[in-house]
Chains A and B, each alone.
Chain A
Amino acid sequence: MPAEYRLILKHLDEPGYEPTLACYLRHGGYSVLRRVLALEPRVSPEGKTLSPQEQLRQEVSLSGLRGRGGAGFSTGMKWSLVDRKSGKPIYLICNADESEPGTFKDRQIIHKDPHQLLEGMVVSAYANDVHLAYIYIRGEFPQGAKILNQAISEAKAAGYLGKNILGSGYDLEIYVHRGAGAYICGEETGLIESLEGKRPYPRIKPPYFPAVLGLYQCPTIVNNVETLCAVKHVIEMGGAEYAKLGTPNNTGTRIVSLSGCVWRPGYYEIEVGKATLRDLIFDPAFGGGLRDGRKLKAIIPGGVSAKVFKAGEKVKLKARNADGREVEQEVDVLDLPYDFTSLIAAGSMSGSSAIIVLDDSVDIVEALANISEFFAHESCGQCTPCREGSLWMAKALHRMTHGEGRAMDADYLARIADNIPGGRTICAFGEACSWPVQSFVAKFKEEFVAKGKADEERRSASRQPADVPSAP
């Protein structure tokens, strides 16, 4: 039986659990930090002396932890790329800009268990010799910002943050920086520009890899809220032990945000890959199935930028059979384990782990129009293909949902979408705005064509002048 595995969410929904320091301490809070600050240099089996910081980074690498923000990049790898020889300060930024439509997991942590995030941040900052860190929180979380500020002052007063943390001689300041409603600030280089007080225009890579040239052109680590919380658990359990959770290359736990046409929308923490899409949507422990006896039509598996799955779609996956040979297996999308690799292999992604379920009452053209309007609104406007393309697609879809469709619109949309991504834009927003269009139009083409055709026929019928005699 698939079930939740609550590691990060362990306490936050317990009755009486509060976002206060006292409550966090009662639940064993900051004990990992205490242990971390007491670490001594250790000699590795190879005879190399490892500093406490190196030991911590090694545990994170060993854990196989992958970023929970969207790209799924290895956290250990991200940390290992940091330029530690430049002599410049290293910054840590917590990306709390949670704005991929469908995602609402970081909101829970920020509002209900802010100290867990702070502990994860202090541990991560210590591991990377960081003395100044920021939490970039989206502007639409004003309460979240207040709660975090309150938690920071509590932690500082109690010596878990600020100067000489717990008497260790280690200093760290964390400040909360509020965004102001722009989705592109979730892109790490856009976020950095925003934090520098500029428009959040993403920077081009190379050369602007944050690990080398980030905030103020200094080495910078940008990690998601859930990732930083996971670091706390990695250090608590040990990297090897953490890696036993989940499946190989998809280790640990993940908080899945489930929304749309299901009985029980909500956030569910699972061992990565230990529940399938079918479990998450239909199992009573999770989504509990579709409402009102409806049938499944489509699944957006990783936030609105992920490519859509059509109900009944079959995908080919590589698997190993009993004697270790690689074989190709055909599986229904519903039977895909919810992890990073399977969803990518199936042509989509788990992204920010946000699943939106669409049932057969949903007009697929309307759904895509809604998504495209979002992207047209949020394109930063820096690169022409994205700035113009996202708007053209939204305009065409607006026409289609207002009785002005054409049969050729499906091909028209696909052609625009095909010309935005693939290195034509500075950041991945180009991909994000075209993937839904490409996948919706490819997988539900008949609905787009039928809608356009119906509009054309209706228009041509109403254009018939009344006084023209009908043909003999």
Chain B
Amino acid sequence: MSFVVPAALEAEINELITHYPQPRSAAGMVLHALQDHFGFISPEAMEWTAAKLGVQPINILELVTFYPMYRQEPIGRYHLKVCRTLSCALAGSHELYRHLCERLGLDAHRHGPQTTEDGRFTVEFVECLASCGTAPVVMVNDDLHENVSAAKADEIVGGCP
């Protein structure tokens, strides 16, 4: 399977690179752009990025393996990130995480992101999302949901087309 970056995306990436005196600085933003488009970052995407920025593929792999938000595997259409950290935990985020896993047929005791068999949902425990005053919070793709009770979580999941 050949790796093709559509012209519009490449134009967007070329523009991103102009933001920096040194192309390598754009690496993080380029990876976001590729991941947003392809859903994950493949080895081919890393090689493409490295060539684009004039660095070695290892310089890109080391970013993908370090930063928690980059992933090398596809995920579900809806990515549910439940905050694990203290203020959300005090407000019941661990119970909420278990509830979501059970509802979606996932194992709450397993580590790392998990995706439902139909590929619709990925549930993941993440560190602080910086909305501690409205705990517990859940991000669904780019949207933040606040004060999420079990009932509200059901509503969110049920409302995903």
Contacts and interface: CB of A to CB of B under 8 A. Distances in A.
Interface in B90-125: 90
Given A104-B132, A180-B32, A257-B133, A197 B63 contact: yes
B9 to A, nearest CB: 16
Contacts of A267: 133
Interface in A182-239: 182-183, 194-200, 216
A258 B135 CA distance: 11
Contacts of B66: 182, 199-200, 380
Given A104-B132, A370-B85, A377 B25 contact: no
Given A139-B67, A362-B90, A370-B89, A265 B134 contact: yes
Nearest to B26: A197
Interface residues of B, number: 43
B51 interface: no
A373 B70 CA distance: 20
Contacts of A142: 142
B66 to A, nearest CB: 5
B87 interface: yes
Given A259-B87, A261-B90, A103 B130 contact: yes
Contact of A374 (B22, B26, B32, B128): B128
Contacts of B130: 98-99, 103-104, 106-107, 138, 140-141
Interface string B63-92: 100111110000000000100111101100
Contacts of B59: 197-198
Interface residues of A, number: 55
Contacts of A257: 132-133
A101 B28 contact: no
A374 B28 contact: no
B157 interface: no
A177 B132 contact: no
A181 B85 contact: no
A195 to B, nearest CB: 6
Interface string B1-28: 0000000000000000001111011111
A89 to B, nearest CB: 8
Contacts of B20: 175
Given A102-B87, A197-B53, A216-B21, A140 B29 contact: no
B150 interface: no
Nearest to B30: A197
A195 B53 CA distance: 14
Given A102-B86, A196-B24, A197-B26, A180 B70 contact: yes
B28 A177 contact: yes
A72 interface: no
A53 B22 CA distance: 28
A304 B86 CA distance: 8
Contacts of B21: 132, 216
Contacts of A141: 130
B156 interface: no
A101 B130 CA distance: 7
Contacts of B63: 180, 197-199
A454 interface: no
A146 to B, nearest CB: 8
A140 B129 contact: yes
Contacts of B70: 180
A112 to B, nearest CB: 13
A305 B29 CA distance: 29
Given A196-B25, A265-B134, A374-B85, A260 B67 contact: no
A143 B129 CA distance: 13
Nearest to B24: A197
Contacts of B129: 140
Nearest to A175: B19
A341 B33 CA distance: 44
Given A180-B28, A199-B63, A259-B87, 20 more contacts: A101-B132, A102-B128, A102-B132, A106-B130, A107-B130, A132-B21, A139-B32, A140-B129, A143-B143, A175-B19, A177-B19, A180-B63, A180-B67, A180-B69, A196-B24, A200-B66, A216-B22, A258-B133, A367-B86, A374-B85
Interface of B: 19-22, 24-29, 31-32, 53, 55, 59, 62-63, 66-70, 81, 84-87, 89-90, 126-135, 139, 142-144
12 contacts: A98-B130, A102-B86, A104-B130, A140-B139, A177-B29, A178-B29, A180-B28, A197-B55, A260-B87, A260-B132, A261-B90, A304-B85
